[in-house]
A and B are shown apart, each in its own frame.
Chain A
Amino acid sequence: MAEYSVLIGGKAGEGINTAGLSIAGLFSRLGYRTYMYFDYPSLIRGGHNFAIVRAADRAIGAHRTPVDVLLAFDQNSIENHRQKIHDGTTVVHDASQVVRGEGYGLPLDDIVKEENAPPITKNSAMLGALARVAGIGREVLEDVLRGSVPAKHLEANLRVAGRGYDAVEEVFTVKRGDAPAFPVLTGNEAAGLGLVHGGLGTYVAYPMTPSSSLLHFLANRAEDLSVKVIHPENEISVILMALGLAYAGEKTAVGTSGGGFCLMTEGLSLAGMSEIPVTIVMGQRPGPSTGLPTYTSQTELHFVLNAGQGEFPRLVVAPGDLEETYAWSAAALMLSWRYQVPAIVLTDKTLAEGAYSFDLGSITPPPDREPVLWDGAGEYRRYVRTEDGVSPLAFPGREGAIVKATSYAHDEAGFTTEKPVEARELQEKLLRKGESLKAELAAYPTVKTYGARDAGTTIVCWGSQKWVCIEAAEEFGARVVQPLVLSPFPTRQWKETMIGAGKVVCVENNATGQLGRLLRQQGFDPGRPILKYDGRPFAVDELTARLGEVFA
């Protein structure tokens, strides 16, 4: 496999994220699949931000520790990453900032001054230097800048990029790959587009890392995608507004992280009882409480499975890359409306803010599912009992229908009841919807596998850790099994998939093995846990070493 890793680091506010995306764009333009891990502390200016961009001639979704090129805007960007530098690493640094530099030093302050360019164009100088070091032609570099820099800043960026290009030498040669030039998107962007594919009309959210960039993306593209985007006073308002919108017929999604989801739980329970559909994109980050706000974890699985008072069905899906995020965000929204249950798309910082080559054409879209609508015959009863538990919808404004939705236990018309028989029937109706949803999901790819069935060793994982597991598994000839749906749990598919699994390990970004716990609840052996809970995702080499301890 041909592959390259580039690390770019500097202070917050210097545009490291954007620079990383430009590097990914450069490799994408050359026909490579890319993945970017972006690491930043919770501050606005200063500190140390870095992005690791990895490019390969096949699909990837994880980083490796050693890098081929290190682009350093400051001393920290070298010192903090000593373990990533090896004999073959080319270091390019800003000579105006780095005192103890190595490799190529670019006098970036002088360059931007001489070119009469704004400081942010220093990123273009680094991009230019990278292109030269990697033997990438000047025309490809300029092409990438033309595609990413707004017209009025383009000339300055091209001049500064040229200075960077000329200041270094070719060290190795990146050959053109075979892949088309895929766009590079984040998980949040794929989630937003997937929701729109599923019929999203309105997105409501309060800012919270790692989901804020989904709010920003949809707000920025609201007109292009014809969606309303609302930012209210807090997450309680977010979910209540969403339920109001959906009660009146508007397909609505919300986005948050653990702390915001805490505030949404009473609204979630209201959605469960009133049977008003809502889709929640829940981006995980490490807690408890504020925790590590800008880092990653898979710690909210049991929280989302159990959140909200009372017993009601919910759909919980955990996609592992952009294509799954797109497809399952669409499916979640449609199924939420089909079965009038809350749907949760569980992501994490690694997936939500990580960037990947996006191949829209490779996605098998989920089946189109429509809500069951009232046919207008007879008297409308919002909660009429049906075989599959789903009562036809009508929306206020519909002539001949009085639509009564409620948080109380209720009769078929929607009036409050405290009678034991009606209370029991209502509870059974709600649970029946969960069974119907589970039956429908039997036709979906709820459990995915990678590698040979008879491998004899199996790595179980979920969400963003999918790709690091796939790559690490190859070292051992192991098979990877990934549940996409976590509620209602795909019991039959899981059982069939795990026949002959052999030795099993369960890889998770948490301290207590949450998927393992869920599997045990379902009556399955989750195998041996391999856990990481320092706020960072596994690197391929790191996971390989951990697996080696178990498989050896």
Chain B
Amino acid sequence: MTPDRSPGHPAGGLISPAENTWCPGCGNFSIQHMMKSAVAELSEEEGIPLENFVLLGGIGCHGKLADYLNVNSLYAIHGRSVPAATGIRLANPDLKVICHVGDGDIYAEGLDHLIFAAKRNSDITVIVHDNRVYGLTTGQYTPTSPAGFRGRSTPGGITEHPLNPLGLMLAAGATYIARGYTKKIRHLKDLFKEAIMHRGFSFVDVLQICATYFNLTDYYNEHAYEIPAGEVDTGRFESALGKIREWDYDREAPIPLGTFYSVEKPVYEEKFQVLAADRSERRALVRKVVEEWR
């Protein structure tokens, strides 16, 4: 299973032999293939060795991507891949750490971790497979399902309104915020590459089609548009916020796609980087601490 690194097809060997069990028409295929291409292209263009990419998955249909790509992966538990990603980045600054998470996974079960990773500007990338429904547990509402959504746990329809995850991330301190759509794959791949190369916490909410439980293809095709160049000043909080508020995941409105916010801030993991020593050096330090105890 060594990746094929022939220059003609850099991405070919990145698909693993694991049997793919997503439903036909699932939006996850687009995310998988665009991440595969993003990794392959960044490896070529930026000279990042393929072994320096690490993917994480939560639990949900999205998480299977960890099995389906032939890249280092930690297929973690529901809602908890983000702190593990920060741990990986803390251990090795050369790694490009990419968290694939679901909307139920990270906006419900693991929201605290997402907010804190943004707050501390952890140098990781979070890609949310936001299909706005639980797939693997067969069709319940998630934090981004629209009001009135009838799921198997809420047959009468939900009365609560969805979170706007982009607004949440902006408030929390994320330094890169974008939205993609699984039917605009080239655009999606470019967002992935931009997010991975961003220094600091990067966040991409991907509107993903769930072919079985919540197929919004027509709705998205009708409303989604790529933000024209110059329409948002991605270095300005207020400009980003205005654009983020154009659609609230609830009412009918145009759905902007693209980068909303991108700024530089100190990276969380960097201040820990100097503290490294081998075991025998540390033992000498222990003896010194005890000898000089006060």
Contacts and interface: CB of A to CB of B under 8 A. Distances in A.
Nearest to A242: B87
B17 to A, nearest CB: 8
Interface stretch (A403-411, A421-429, A523-531): A403-411
Interface string A229-255: 010111011101111111111101000
Measured as residues with beta carbon below 8 angstroms from the partner, the interface class of chain B is 35 or more
Closest 3 CB pairs of A and B: A244-B87, A183-B293, A248-B91
A148 interface: yes
B92 interface: yes
A186 to B, nearest CB: 12
23 contacts: A196-B282, A196-B286, A198-B279, A221-B289, A224-B289, A226-B281, A228-B90, A230-B272, A236-B80, A237-B113, A240-B84, A241-B83, A244-B83, A246-B91, A247-B84, A270-B76, A396-B52, A400-B2, A403-B72, A403-B73, A404-B72, A406-B66, A408-B75
B74 A405 contact: yes
Contacts of B54: 248, 396
Interface string A352-365: 00000010100000
B205 interface: no
Contacts of B288: 224
Interface stretch (A125-133, A199-207, A492-500): A199-207
B66 to A, nearest CB: 7
A399 B52 CA distance: 9
B275 A223 contact: yes
Contacts of B1: 379, 402, 413
Nearest to A243: B84
Contacts of B80: 236-237, 240, 266-267, 270
B294 A147 contact: yes
B76 A397 contact: no
A247 B285 CA distance: 26
B230 to A, nearest CB: 37
A244 to B, nearest CB: 2
B51 A399 contact: yes
Contact of A244 (B16, B85, B275): B85
B166 interface: no
Given A228-B275, A415-B67, A249 B75 contact: no
A343 interface: no
B25 to A, nearest CB: 22
B113 to A, nearest CB: 6
A414 B69 CA distance: 12
Contacts of A246: 87, 91
Contacts of B290: 183, 193, 358, 360
B282 A245 contact: no
Interface size class of A (residues with CB under 8 A): 35 or more
Interface string B241-282: 000000000000000000000000000000010011101011
B158 interface: no
A396 B71 CA distance: 9
Interface of B: 1-3, 16-18, 49, 51-52, 54, 59, 64, 66-67, 70-77, 80-92, 94-95, 112-113, 116, 272, 275-277, 279, 281-283, 285-290, 293-294
Contacts of B91: 201-202, 244-250
A244 B82 CA distance: 9
A266 B16 CA distance: 28
Contacts of A193: 286, 289-290
Contacts of A198: 279
A222 B51 contact: no
A397 B97 CA distance: 11
Nearest to A249: B91
Nearest to A358: B290
Given A226-B282, A404-B66, 14 more contacts: A193-B286, A196-B283, A196-B286, A202-B272, A225-B282, A237-B80, A241-B90, A244-B85, A249-B92, A270-B77, A400-B2, A402-B72, A405-B75, A416-B75
A221 B288 CA distance: 12
Given A397-B94, A416-B67, A407 B59 contact: yes
B294 A241 contact: no
A202 B90 contact: yes
Contact of A199 (B73, B88, B279): B279
Given A226-B281, A415-B18, A247 B87 contact: yes
Most buried by B among A147, A244, A403: A244
A396 B67 CA distance: 16
A148 B293 CA distance: 9
Interface of A: 147-148, 183-185, 193, 196-202, 204, 221-228, 230, 232-234, 236-238, 240-250, 252, 266-267, 270, 274, 358, 360, 379, 395-408, 413-416
Contacts of B51: 396-402
Contacts of A243: 74, 76, 84, 87
Contacts of B272: 202, 228, 230
Given A196-B285, A225-B285, A240 B83 contact: yes
B46 to A, nearest CB: 16
A404 B73 contact: yes
A360 B281 CA distance: 17
A416 B63 CA distance: 11
A60 B224 CA distance: 74
B87 A248 contact: yes
A407 B77 contact: yes
A124 B72 CA distance: 59
A202 B289 CA distance: 18
A358 B293 CA distance: 10
A240 B90 CA distance: 12
Nearest to B85: A244
A240 B87 contact: yes
Interface centre among A201, A230, A248 (most CB of B within 10 A): A248
Contacts of B286: 193, 196-197, 225
Contacts of A228: 90, 272, 275
Contacts of B283: 196-197
A234 B74 contact: no
A236 B73 CA distance: 20
Contact of B74 (A204, A230, A244): A244
A244 B94 CA distance: 15
A226 B289 CA distance: 12
A550 B119 CA distance: 59
Contacts of B17: 415
A184 B294 CA distance: 8
Contact of B92 (A248, A267, A402): A248
A233 B67 contact: no
* Residue with the highest number of chain A CB atoms closer than 10 Å, among B76, B95, B116: B76
A232 B286 CA distance: 25
B84 A241 contact: yes
B13 to A, nearest CB: 10
A226 B273 CA distance: 10
B98 to A, nearest CB: 12
Nearest to B81: A240
Given A224-B289, A360-B290, A237 B112 contact: yes
Residue among A148, A240, A274 facing the most chain B CB atoms (10 A cut-off): A240
Max chain B CB contacts within 10 Å: which of A224, A266, A396? A396
A226 to B, nearest CB: 4
Contacts of B87: 204, 240-248, 250, 252
A274 B52 CA distance: 20
A230 B87 CA distance: 10
